[in-house]
Structure 1
Amino acid sequence: MRFAIKTRPEHTTWAEVRDVWMAADEIDLFESAWNWDHFYPLTGDLSGPNLEGWTMLAALAQATRRIRVGCQVTGMIYRHPAVLANMAATVDIISEGRLELGLGAGWNQHECDAYGIELPPLRERFDRFDEGVQAVIALLGQTTTTLEGKYIRLTEARCEPKPVQRPHPPITIGGRGPKRTLRAVALWAQQWNSITESPEQWRGLKETLLAHCADVGRDPGEIVCSVNVRVEPGHDVNEVVDQVVAYRDAGVDLAIMNLPHHAKPDILLPLAEALAPLS
């Protein structure tokens, strides 16, 4: 099994996040580190601080040397796909080819209402997401892109310079919607990330993903399956390991350890030592 970390940008400081990522960069067991793409906290005091994900990602790419970096996951509703493609190419260059490009349709009504960002009905949102993913892939991989979509129109559009990783950084699509999200994973993703309540629930979603892969002619072995495992404050490392083992036995490839608020770098080594026998 493979391992990664995630730090939540809510209720924390830049220095705390930076120090944890730099420490994880020195522990080979952790292959990637992730944040999220929100503007308000998701837990606790919703009026509290929450650092912006992509500007953090660029700085964290510069602060690290080995670990892969990603935003889990970028809400397509927040930025025009052409703008996002340019952001992704730039961060991939800054990181010297370590970007994991996390994409999702978006869902946070509270943020959208506060900022005046349109949150379309679910069907339209996923129609826009599908067009957006295709636009990002084309812009990152092609010299010019012309797209006549229902929602996105590009005319001989360029994204230069291109990312280091060709044809584009690996795409992670996050979510567990059985009809649209998992079909999008089958069509375009190199990684599927989910937050599930149990390994049993995850197995059911994986079966749906396999069906979509068969339908579109995709080899499911090309898709890394990852889940988030919450590490609570004052956690019992044995309980964390037990959760990881259960997901490993269900068929998960990558366990992303969702660290608690205000995590210190010294949380990482004991965690890595406990997880290492599973790798």
Structure 2
Amino acid sequence: MRFAIKTRPEHTTWQQLRDVWIAADEFEIFESAWHWDHFYPLSGDMAGPNLEAWTTLAALAQATSRIRVGCQVTGMIYRHPAVLANMAATTDIISNGRLELGVGAGWNQLECDAYGIDLPPLKERFDRFDEGVQAMIALLTEKVANFDGEYIKLTDAYCEPKAVQTPHPPITIGGKGPKRTLRAVARWAQHWNVIVADPSEWTPLKEILVAHCADLGRDPAEITCSVNVRIDPDEPLDKAVADAAAYGEAGVDLVVMNLPLDSPPSAVEPLAKALAPLA
């Protein structure tokens, strides 16, 4: 089994977020570290602090040296795909090739309404997402990119300098929609992340992904499958470790351990030691 951590950039400070990632960087059992892409906190006081995803991600890439870094996941509706491709290439350079490019269609109506960002109906949102992923891949891999979609258009477009990783940073697609999301994973992703209640919910989703891969001629072994396990501060750490073990037995490749809010850097070492027998 493989492991990662995830921190919530809500109701915290830059210094604390940075120090937790630096601590995780010291333990090889954690292959990657993640945060989210929201503008408002998702818990507690909505008016409280929430650090922006990509500016902090670039800074966290600079603050660390080994651990892979990613956003779980970037809402495609928040940034034009061409802009996001340039951000990803630059962050991959800053990290010396450690970026995981996490993307999703987006869903948060509250944030969109507050900021005047259009949140299209579900079908259009996924149509835009599909085009956005293709446009980003074109910009990250081609010297001059052209794309003529219904919503996204590139005309002799450049994205220079290119990312360190070739052909592009691994794409993580998050979500569990059986028709659109999992098919997009099968077409373009190197990593699929999903939040589910337990392994019994994950297994049939993996079977759907495998079926999409068969339809598209893709080897499902090329796709890392990850889930999130929440560490409840009011429960023994053993509970989260047991949950992680159960996902491993079900066939999950990577378990992302979601740290409690306000976890200090000192919380990383006990977690690493508790997970070590599963690695």
Is 1:98 matched up with 2:98?
Answer: yes
Deviation at 1:142, TM superposition (A): 0.5
What amino acid is aligned across from residue 142 of structure 1 in structure 2? E
Structure-to-structure mapping, 1:131-170, within 5 angstroms: 131-170=131-170
Q: Pairwise mapping of residues 12-23 of structure 1 onto structure 2 (< 5 A)?
A: 12-23=12-23
The answer to whether residue 175 in structure 2 is matched with residue 175 in structure 1 is yes
Equivalent residue for 2:40? 40
Equivalent residue letter for 2:253? D
TM-score, normalising length: structure 1: 0.99
Task: Note the alpha carbon deviations across 1:4-35, whole angstroms, 9 max, x for none.
Answer: 00000111110110000000000110000001
The Cα offsets for residues 153-200 of structure 1, whole Å up to 9 and x where unpaired, read as 100100000000011000000000111000000000000000001110
Q: Does 1:26 align with 2:26?
A: yes
Q: Which amino acid aligns with 2:215?
A: D
Matched, 1:227 2:201: no
Partner residue in 2 for 1:77: 77
Q: 2:228 is paired with a residue of what secondary structure?
A: strand
Asked whether the 8 Å contact 2:232–2:240 carries over to 1, the reply is: no
Shift of 1:274: 1.0
Which amino acid in structure 1 is aligned with residue 130 of structure 2?
A: D
Q: Could you tell me which runs of 5 or more consecutive residues in structure 2 were left unpaired when the two chains were aligned.
A: none
Unpaired runs of at least 5, structure 1: none
1:123 and 1:260 map into 2 onto residues whose CA distance is 34
Which one-letter code corresponds to 1:169 in the other structure? P
CA deviation after TM superposition for structure 1 residue 110, in Å: 0.2
Distance (Å, rounded) in 2 between the aligned partners of 1:270 and 1:111: 36
**Deviation at 1:238?**
1.1
- 1:45 Cα offset (Å): 1.3
For residues 6 and 105 of structure 2, the distance between their equivalents in structure 1, rounded to whole angstroms, comes to 20
Distance 2:242 2:45 in 1: 31
Percent identity for Structure 1 against Structure 2: 72
Q: Deviations over 1:75-127 (max 9, x none)?
A: 00001100000000000000000000000000000000000000000000000
- Partner deviation per Cα, 1:184-237 (whole Å, 9 max, x = no partner): 000000000000011100001101101111111100000000001001224412
CA distance in 2, matches of 1:110, 1:76: 16
Deviates more, 1:231-240 or 1:119-128: 231-240
Cα distance in 1 between the residues matched to 2:232 and 2:246: 18
Q: How does 1:240-259 map to 2 (within 5 A)?
A: 240-259=240-259
Q: Which amino acid aligns with 2:147?
A: L
Root-mean-square deviation (CA, aligned residues, Å) is 0.6
Specify the SS of the correspondent of 1:233.
Answer: coil
Q: Distance in 2 between matches of 1:103 and 1:22?
A: 24
Aligned length: 279
Q: Distance in 2 between matches of 1:19 and 1:215?
A: 44
Task: Name the amino acid aligned to 1:144.
Answer: V
State the distance in 2 between where 1:123 and 1:206 align: 22
CA distance in 1, matches of 2:69, 2:231: 20
- AA of the residue aligned to 1:110: L
Q: What are the residue-to-residue correspondences of 1:251-270 with 2, within 5 Å?
A: 251-270=251-270
2:100 touches 2:171 (CA, 8 Å); kept in 1? Answer: yes
The answer to whether structure 1 residue 199 and structure 2 residue 195 are counterparts is no
Asked if 1:216 is matched to 2:237, the reply is no
CA distance in 1, matches of 2:235, 2:90: 37
- After the TM superposition, which segments of 4 or more aligned residues of structure 1 sit over 4 Å from their partners? none
2: distance between equivalents of 1:92 and 1:212?
29
